Amino acid sequence: AQSVAQPEDQVNVAEGNPLTVKCTYSVSGNPYLFWYVQYPNRGLQFLLKYITGDNLVKGSYGFEAEFNKSQTSFHLKKPSALVSDSALYFCAVRDDNTDKLIFGTGTRLQVFP
Amino acid sequence: IAGITQAPTSQILAAGRRMTLRCTQDMRHNAMYWYRQDLGLGLRLIHYSNTAGTTGKGEVPDGYSVSRANTDDFPLTLASAVPSQTSVYFCASSDRVGTEAFFGQGTRLTVV
């Protein structure tokens, strides 16, 4: 069965430092991968996706993600974190069998001033 | 403002009562979804609809029903609420199944 794993419940980083939020996936076919962000008391907002092509995907708010097929990973990155980036981040994969999005359990990013 | 509207934003409901969560989108998206979000479990799909007139079961459909009479509306009904249905419910839509989804603000439901 298709799945995604977010191994870290929380990531702490100082403002101005680079950040990485990890995601690994398991799919039977070609992976369609997504990152979403959720601010407090809000719905999820789409950040970026990987369908095919360049392994480095650029998205909203300066975020990017790197697709690594050999490591089955799709880590979210940003060169310089902002306090306003503090939020809950979800990785998702499209299920090959049902075509639905399967979400990870989420990683809380805390950026300290 | 274009997007997805959910109502109510929050509700406290007595166990055994019937409740319908409303969801409307104005993006003319074909696919719509209902998720519940619980601490430590992420988002789990309850029901979905590929297009108006069709619905399907997600990962956790028991105790919930949906209908899709038209493109814009996708209500979620709890026929007889139980405390384990206390959660935050999100409606979402996408142009087609499997593409990026757009989410509503959520409905916080507490069943007591």
Query: Tokens standing for B105?
Result: 């603000």
User: Which tops the pLDDT comparison, A7 or A1?
Assistant: A7
Residue B1's pLDDT is 57
Is the Cβ–Cβ distance between A83 and A96 less than 8 Å?
A: no
- Between CA B91 and CA A21 the distance in angstroms is 25
Residue A100's pLDDT is 82
| Res A51 pLDDT > 70 | yes
| Res A63 pLDDT > 80 | yes
Establish if A105 touches chain B: CB-CB under 8 angstroms. yes
Establish if A70 touches chain B: CB-CB under 8 angstroms. no
Q: Residue B35's pLDDT band (boundaries 50, 70, 90)?
A: very high
Query: Among A36, A90, A94, whose Cβ lies nearest the Cβ of B98?
Result: A94
Is the Cβ–Cβ distance between B40 and A107 less than 8 Å?
A: no
- Between CA A39 and CA A33 the distance in angstroms is 20
CB B90 to CB A43 under 8 A? Answer: yes
Q: Residue A55's pLDDT band (boundaries 50, 70, 90)?
A: very high
Query: In the predicted model, what is the mean pLDDT of chain A?
Result: 92
Q: Where are the alpha helices (DSSP H) in chain A?
A: none
Residue A101's pLDDT is 86
Partner B, chain A 84-103, Cβ-Cβ below 8 Å: 90, 94, 99-103
Q: Residue B97's pLDDT band (boundaries 50, 70, 90)?
A: low
Is the Cβ–Cβ distance between A103 and A91 less than 8 Å?
A: yes
Percent of chain A predicted with pLDDT > 70: 99
Q: Which residues pair with A70 in a beta bridge?
A: none
- Between CA A80 and CA A89 the distance in angstroms is 17
Residue A38's pLDDT is 95
CB B98 to CB A100 under 8 A? Answer: yes
Closest-CA residue in chain A for B49?
Answer: A100
